Amino acid sequence: MTTNIATLAVKALIANGIDQLYCLPGVQNDHFFNALFDHTDMITPIQTRHEQGAAYMATGAALATGESQVFCVVPGPGFLNTTAALSTAYAVNAPVMAFVGQIPTGAQGKGHGLLHEIPDQFGILERLTKSAHRVTGATDAASTIATAFRDLASGRPQPVGLEIAVNLWTQTIEGAVPDLVPETVAAPQPDSTAIDDAASLIAAARAPMIVVGGGAQDDAEAVQALAKRIGAPVVAFRTGHGVMPSDDPLSIGMPMAHSLWPDVDLVIGLGTRLQSQVMSWGRDDAMKIIHIDIDESQIGRSAPVDVGIHGRLADALPLLISAIDDRADANPDWAMRIDDVKSRREAEYRQRLGPQLEWLGAIRDALPRDGIFVDELTQTGYVSRFAFPSYVPRSFISTGYQGTLGYGFATALGVAHARRDVPVVSISGDGGALFTITELATAVHHNIPLTTVIFNDHAFGNVRRLQMDNYDSRLIASDLSSPDFVSLAESFGAQGLLATSPNQLRTAIETAMLHDGPSIIEVPVGELPSPWDFVLMPKSR
């Protein structure tokens, strides 16, 4: 039996459960796409209008489903166009494979000036992924591709890179093809002594708090069980929303957590770096820290921990829960303190951030409980991170610490493409929207039912707000001339709507959800109240 590397790569994608390939074809990958042509009954190419669109869509699909996704682009400028998305995928724990072409093997590193040649492409790929792999020929093709998929499915979910040069696609592989679905690397088993030590700290705590990150998205039931068993509030900043339903009494936002922080005597970090809390707000000897994470390198990175448990939450949390007594009613004063802080902070939100809350309230009212919300770097988006209710895992998609302006629309396309079973609403500002608005053509071509709300203030609103607050309103390079987004949407063949009030926005979203295809809703806004006092909060201990 003989095959070639291009066909082998296609079969590897199919064998590993990849049924959609986000892509932009090009000359170095033509042989691969020619092989893909014969297998489009099992794997569908989703071509985008820009390479960053392909990478963002793969990231969104991975975040919304928790399943591995792949994007495929040409080398050089094609690959470089994906790197903002790839760094975002790295930041938010998205299992995405960057499947990248390359110039001929004999020309790499020679500086001949071949089409799409850049210095050390593989080195860049290595630095934006948890592992990168390069096929060198027929003898290592199967094992290299299988190893890349092993890494993609093992350990902490993060991007993996796979590079194949143009002159290798047609190389013949003789003999039987080995198994292209590798065994995943076994997860480390939690140390029993560490579990016992953590249980002892919990037993002694009077004011515990749980911090969840994106690493807890698949373990919501266990997190909720632990929180209720010990009476601990649960806080998420960006990527942990939905793990604890927002209408649960123990769910708190970041400003609420900050108000409670001086009293906290035990922090339990679950699938999070803890940077936004412990590192930013401070700690002292009266605060103990338990940190559980699949990535051992993250344990103790942001602050020294008293107990570190290396392992999956799915393995560690049941052991920890069984090792502790029910302490839900052990500290009634702490429960009262949590309720009081939630009430006071919610009143403060209403008083100081009324316009953003009304817009977000309209979105929340229109979305079903399991609908998905995709945030952006906007004045309204920042408020959403502590005031938009999320009720189920993977229903709040964020750029995480990378803060990738303009990621939202194309990422949300991937979300909506992968999760056609639920409505998806994305928000953008007029500044960020234009980074990838050309992917409206992709949305129309593939009939992706995404609803996008664009808050148009004709400015880079966050930049302008910081210039106003911190530099005596010395406004520079933050004003914009933005298009009529309703007409722009219609020119692409999408539905364009206008909303000038929260009630109109609610109605427009409901209309958009009934539309068979993508919709853009433009919302003209003026100056909005500053959210920064609720985002950049000082050390408190």
Domain boundaries, the chain: 2-174, 192-343, 353-534
pLDDT at 328: 78
Q: What is the pLDDT confidence band of residue 178, given thresholds at 50, 70 and 90? A: confident
pTM to 2 decimals? 0.97
- The pLDDT of residue 177: 78
CA dist 457 and 454 (Å) reads 9
Report residue 501: phi and psi, to 5°. Answer: -150, 160
The C-alpha atoms of residue 17 and residue 24 are separated, in whole angstroms, by 20
- Whole-number Å distance between alpha carbons of 21 and 43: 7
Q: Residue 235 belongs to what H/E stretch?
A: strand 234-236
**Could you report the per-residue pLDDT of 304-329, keeping only the tens digit for each?**
999 999 999 999 999 999 999 888 78
CATH class, domain 192-343, is alpha beta
- Write out pLDDT tens, residues 370-395: 999 999 999 999 999 999 999 999 99
Please write the tens of the pLDDT for every residue from 344-366: 999 999 999 999 999 999 999 99
The two domains 2-174 and 353-534 share their CATH topology (first three levels equal): yes
Strand partners, 209: 267
Mean per-residue pLDDT, 92-105: 98
CATH of region 353-534: 3.40.50.970
- Tell me which architecture the domain covering 2-174 has in CATH: 3-Layer(aba) Sandwich (3.40)
Rounded to 5 degrees, what angle do the CA atoms 463, 464, 467 make? 90
